[in-house]
Homo-oligomer: A and B are copies of this chain.
Amino acid sequence: MNHYSNIIAEMRNDAADILYKALEAVEPGAAVKRYCRVDGDNLFIGERIYDLVKYKNLFLIGAGKATAPMAAAIEDILGKRVTSGIIIVKYGHVADLDRINLIEAGHPVPDENGQHGTEAILKLVRDAGKDDLVICLISGGGSALTPLPFHGLTLKDKQETIKVLLSCGATIHEINAIRKHTSMIKGGRLARAAYPATLVSLILSDVVGDDLDVIASGPTVPDSSTFSSCMKILQRYNILKKIPETVLNHIEAGASGKVPETPNTDDSAFDKTYNLIIGSNIESLMAAKQKAESLGYKVLVLSSMIEGETRDVAHVHGAIAREIIKTGNPLHPPACILSGGETTVTLTGKGLGGRNQEFALASAIDIAGKNEVVILSGGTDGNDGPTDAAGAFADNFTLKRAGEMGLDPYYFLLNNDSYHFFQKLGDLLMTGATNTNVMDLRIVLVK
- Distance in Å: Cβ of A269 to nearest Cβ of chain B: 26
CA distance A316 to B317 in the complex (A): 10
Bound-state CA distance A184–B301 (Å) is 48
Q: Is the CB of A303 within 8 A of B282?
A: no
A209 touches B330 (CB 8 A): no
| A209 to B319 Cα, complex, angstroms | 9
Q: How far is the CB of A132 from chain B (nearest CB, A)?
A: 34
In contact, A301 and B315 (Cβ under 8 angstroms): no
- For the complex formed, measure the closest distance between the CB of A234 and the CB atoms of chain B, giving whole angstroms: 15
Chain A 275-318 interface residues, beta-carbon cutoff 8 Å to B: 282, 285, 300-309, 311-313, 315-316
Given contacts A236-B410, A410-B236, contact A308 B305 (CB under 8 A): no
In chain A, positions 321-377 with a C-beta closer than 8 Å to chain B are 322-323, 326-327, 329-330, 341
Q: A300 near B330 (CB under 8 angstroms)?
A: yes
Instruction: List the interface of chain A (C-beta within 8 A of B).
Output: 208-209, 236, 282, 285, 300-309, 311-313, 315-316, 319-320, 322-323, 326-327, 329-330, 341, 410
Task: List the B side residues contacting A301 at CB < 8 Å.
Answer: 323, 329-330
User: A300 — nearest CB in chain B belongs to which residue?
Assistant: B330
Shortest beta-carbon distance from A306 to chain B in Å: 5
Q: In the docked arrangement, what's the CA distance between A300 and B323, Å?
A: 12
Give the CA-CA distance A315 to B309 in the complex, in Å.
Answer: 9
Please measure, in the bound complex, the distance between the C-alpha atom of A301 and the C-alpha atom of B324, giving whole angstroms.
10
Q: How far is the CB of A446 from chain B (nearest CB, A)?
A: 12
| Choice from B303, B308, B312 contacting A320 with Cβ under 8 Å | B303
Question: Which are the 9 A-B pairs with shortest beta-carbon distances?
Answer: A308-B312, A312-B312, A308-B315, A303-B323, A303-B319, A305-B319, A301-B329, A309-B312, A303-B320
- In the docked arrangement, what's the CA distance between A311 and B312, Å? 9
Chain B residues whose CB sits within 8 angstroms of the CB of A322 once the complex forms: 209, 303, 305
The docked-state distance in angstroms from the alpha carbon of A319 to that of B306 is 5
Taking CB atoms, residues of chain B closer than 8 Å to A306 are 315-316, 319
The reply to whether A316 and B308 contact each other, CB–CB distance below 8 Å, is yes
Nearest Cβ in chain B — how far from A352, in angstroms? Answer: 22
**Chain B residues with Cβ under 8 A from A323's Cβ?**
282, 301-305
25 A–B pairs (Cβ distance < 8 Å), ordered by A? A209-B322, A209-B326, A236-B410, A282-B326, A282-B329, A285-B329, A300-B300, A302-B316, A302-B320, A302-B329, A303-B320, A303-B322, A303-B329, A304-B329, A305-B319, A305-B323, A305-B326, A308-B309, A308-B312, A308-B313, A308-B316, A309-B309, A312-B313, A316-B316, A319-B341
CB distance from A421 to the nearest CB of B (A): 17
Complex formed: what's the CA distance from A327 to B285 in Å? 12
Q: How far is B302's CA from A308's CA once the two chains are assembled, in angstroms?
A: 18
Min C-beta distance of A72 to chain B, whole Å? 30
Q: In whole angstroms, what is the CA distance A3 to B129 when docked?
A: 49
Give the docked Cα–Cα distance between A294 and B99 (Å): 62
Identity of the chain B residue whose Cβ is nearest the Cβ of A341 in the assembled complex: B319
Of A208, A304, A305, most buried by chain B (CB within 10 Å of CB) is A305
Which has the most chain B C-beta neighbours within 10 Å: A307, A315, A322?
Answer: A315
- Further contacts, 10 of them, CB under 8 A, given A236-B410, A282-B329, A308-B313: A282-B323, A301-B330, A303-B316, A303-B320, A305-B323, A305-B326, A308-B311, A308-B312, A308-B316, A319-B341
